[in-house]
C-alpha cells in the first residue's frame, strides 16, 4: 500500500456534518440548547453529577483549580511529563507548579515521588501545598488509589488532567467515596478536565469539559466560565427574568463552549465506544506485530486499568541496539511515508520552566532518560489494518537497517 500515513486524523462522518448544519439553521451558534444537551449526555457517559463545557481543556484546568481555591503562593503538584497547560494554569493564579518525576512503566506520575515532593515542600515552607494534578498519559489512568489516599492525608485537592483519557476506567476510591471499585475517569478527583481538541479521542476541533461531584465547585466553574455572570445566555431566555437582565458576581473569564461544537460532540459521543474499541484493536495489532523485536518496548496496561482510551501508542526504542538516535529514527519513518511524533518534551527541558524554577535533568532521572527514546505512532479509528501492518513493517525495516 502506497501513500502517506498521517500521525493523526479526526474521525468525522456525515452525522457530524448534518448536525452542524442543523445547528446553524437553528439560529443558536454560541452557548445554547445543544451545549446543555452535550453536557447532560457527557455527564451520563462518565457517571458524573456535573459536566460543564468550556472552550478548551486549558480553560477547564484554569477554572477547576480556581474553583478549588488555588491562590497566589499555593503549590500545585503535577508530573514533569506533560504538556505545558498542566503547569501554566497555576501561574495564571500566581501559584506555582511543583514538578514530579514519572513511573518508568506507564509514564504517569509516580505516587512515591509525589509523596517525596510534598514532604520536601512542607519542610521548606516555601509555598502552601494545595492541589495535585495527575495527568492520565496516553489514555491510561494514573494510580489514583494511591494519589487520592495521599491527597486526603495531606488535605490536597485532586484536579485530574484527563485530556487523553476518554473513555478510561480505573479501580480506585474517590475523593468522596472510600470504596475502591471500578470507576470512570471523571468521577474520582474533586474535578476532572477532558479535551476535545482535533486529535483527541472525542474531537470537536477545540473544546473541553469539566466534570465534578461537588455542587459548589460546579457552580463556581459555571459562573466563572462566562465573565462571572450569574446566568448562562441560555438560562436568560428560559427564566422569569427579562432576557436582557444579568448580574456580575465575580470577575470571570470568556471560556464558554458553542452549540456548533456541541453538535459535533454529541455525534462523537454516540460513537465513543466504537472509537475506543477500534483504538484498542490497533494497539493490539502493534503489540502483536512487534512481539519478539528486541529493538522496541511496547506500552503496557497497568493492573486495575480495565479501559484504556489509547489516545496515544507510545513505543520506546532500545537505543543501544540502534546506530541512530530517536530523532533520526522518526525522520527515517517519515521518509518511508509514516508520520510519528513525540509526547512529551518534559517541562524541565523547556526554557521557561527550567529557568524560572532552576530545574535540572538530574532532578527527573526517569523523564530525562525516557524522553530520548519515545516515539508516538499513528493511532486513530480511521486507520485500516493494512495501514497498521504497514507501519509495523516499516518499524522493523528501519530497525533492521540501522541495527548496531
Residue 247 in this model has a pLDDT that exceeds 80: yes
Phi-psi region of 55 (alpha: psi -120 to 50; beta: other; left: phi over 0): alpha
Q: Report pLDDT for 240.
A: 67
Residues near 259 by beta carbon (within 8 Å), at least 6 away in sequence: 23, 26, 28, 29, 30, 31, 32, 33, 34, 35
The three cell numbers of residue 250 are: 465575580
Residues near 40 by beta carbon (within 8 Å), at least 6 away in sequence: 51
Q: Report pLDDT for 243.
A: 75
Angstrom distance (rounded) from CA 309 to CA 138? 7
Residue 358 in this model has a pLDDT that exceeds 90: yes
- pLDDT band with cut points at 50, 70 and 90 for residue 233: low
- pLDDT band with cut points at 50, 70 and 90 for residue 239: low
Mean pLDDT of 9-38: 97
Q: Which CATH number fits domain 14-270: 3.40.50.450, 3.30.450.40, 3.90.1150.10, 3.40.640.10?
A: 3.40.640.10
Residue 337 in this model has a pLDDT that exceeds 70: yes
The predicted-structure confidence for 98-128, as pLDDT tens digits, reads as follows 999 999 999 999 999 999 999 999 999 999 9
Tell me phi and psi for residue 272, to 5 degrees.
Answer: -60, -35
The predicted-structure confidence for 144-180, as pLDDT tens digits, reads as follows 999 999 999 999 999 999 999 999 999 999 999 999 9
Q: Report pLDDT for 35.
A: 98
The predicted-structure confidence for 379-390, as pLDDT tens digits, reads as follows 999 999 999 999
> How far lies 83's CA from each of 123, 244, 348, in Å?
28, 40, 11
Return the domain boundaries, the chain. Answer: 14-270, 272-401
Q: Which CATH number fits domain 272-401: 3.40.50.720, 3.90.1150.10, 3.40.50.300, 3.40.630.10?
A: 3.90.1150.10
Q: Report pLDDT for 305.
A: 79
Angstrom distance (rounded) from CA 148 to CA 111? 10
- pLDDT band with cut points at 50, 70 and 90 for residue 242: confident
Angstrom distance (rounded) from CA 67 to CA 130? 12
Element containing residue 89 per DSSP (H, E): helix 85-92
Q: Report pLDDT for 230.
A: 85
Mean pLDDT of 30-43: 97
For the chain, what percentages of helix, strand and coil (3-state, to nearest 5) are there?
Answer: 40, 20, 40
Q: Which residue among 200, 241, 271, 401 is the active-site one? A: 200
Kindly report the average pLDDT of the chain as a whole number. Answer: 96
Specify whether 200 is catalytic.
Answer: yes
Amino acid at each position: 500500500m502506497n501513500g502517506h500515513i498521517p500521525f493523526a486524523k479526526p474521525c468525522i462522518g456525515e452525522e457530524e456534518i448534518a448536525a452542524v448544519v442543523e445547528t446553524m439553521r437553528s439560529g443558536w451558534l454560541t452557548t445554547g440548547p445543544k451545549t446543555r444537551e452535550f453536557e447532560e449526555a457527557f455527564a451520563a457517559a462518565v457517571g458524573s453529577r456535573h459536566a460543564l463545557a468550556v472552550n478548551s481543556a486549558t480553560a477547564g484546568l484554569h477554572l477547576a483549580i480556581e474553583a478549588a481555591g488555588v491562590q497566589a503562593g499555593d503549590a500545585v503538584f503535577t508530573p514533569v511529563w506533560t504538556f505545558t497547560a498542566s503547569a501554566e494554569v497555576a501561574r495564571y493564579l500566581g501559584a506555582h507548579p511543583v514538578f514530579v518525576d514519572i513511573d518508568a512503566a506507564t509514564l504517569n506520575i509516580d505516587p512515591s515521588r509525589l509523596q517525596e515532593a510534598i514532604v520536601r515542600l512542607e519542610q521548606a515552607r516555601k509555598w502552601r501545598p494545595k492541589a495535585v494534578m495527575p495527568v492520565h498519559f496516553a489514555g491510561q489512568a494514573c494510580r489514583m488509589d494511591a494519589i487520592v489516599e495521599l491527597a486526603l492525608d495531606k488535605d490536597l485537592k485532586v484536579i485530574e488532567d484527563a485530556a487523553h483519557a476518554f473513555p478510561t476506567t480505573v479501580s480506585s476510591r474517590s475523593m468522596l467515596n472510600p470504596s475502591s471499585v471500578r470507576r470512570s475517569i471523571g468521577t474520582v478527583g474533586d474535578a476532572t478536565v477532558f479535551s476535545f481538541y482535533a486529535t483527541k479521542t472525542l474531537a470537536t476541533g477545540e473544546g473541553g469539559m469539566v466534570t465534578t461531584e461537588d455542587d459548589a465547585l460546579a457552580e463556581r466553574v459555571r459562573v466563572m466560565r462566562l465573565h462571572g455572570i450569574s446566568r448562562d445566555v441560555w438560562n436568560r431566555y428560559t427564566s422569569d427574568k427579562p432576557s436582557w437582565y444579568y448580574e456580575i458576581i465575580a470577575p470571570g473569564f470568556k471560556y464558554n463552549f458553542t452549540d456548533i461544537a456541541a453538535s459535533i460532540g454529541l455525534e462523537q459521543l454516540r460513537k465513543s465506544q466504537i472509537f475506543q474499541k477500534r483504538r484498542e484493536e490497533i494497539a493490539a495489532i502493534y503489540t502483536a506485530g512487534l512481539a519478539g523485536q528486541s529493538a522496541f518496548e511496547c506500552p503496557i496496561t497497568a493492573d486495575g486499568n480495565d479501559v484504556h482510551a489509547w489516545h496515544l501508542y507510545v513505543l520506546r526504542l532500545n537505543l543501544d541496539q540502534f546506530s541512530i538516535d530517536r530523532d533520526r529514527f522518526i525522520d527515517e519513518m517519515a521518509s518511508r511515508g509514516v508520520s510519528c511524533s513525540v509526547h512529551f518534551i518534559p517541562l524541565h527541558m523547556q526554557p521557561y520552566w527550567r529557568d524560572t524554577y532552576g530545574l535540572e535533568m538530574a532532578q527527573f532521572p526517569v523523564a530525562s532518560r525516557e524522553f530520548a527514546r519515545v516515539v508516538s505512532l499513528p493511532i486513530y479509528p480511521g486507520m485500516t489494518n493494512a495501514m497498521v501492518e504497514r507501519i509495523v513493517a516499516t518499524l522493523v525495516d528501519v530497525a533492521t537497517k540501522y541495527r548496531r
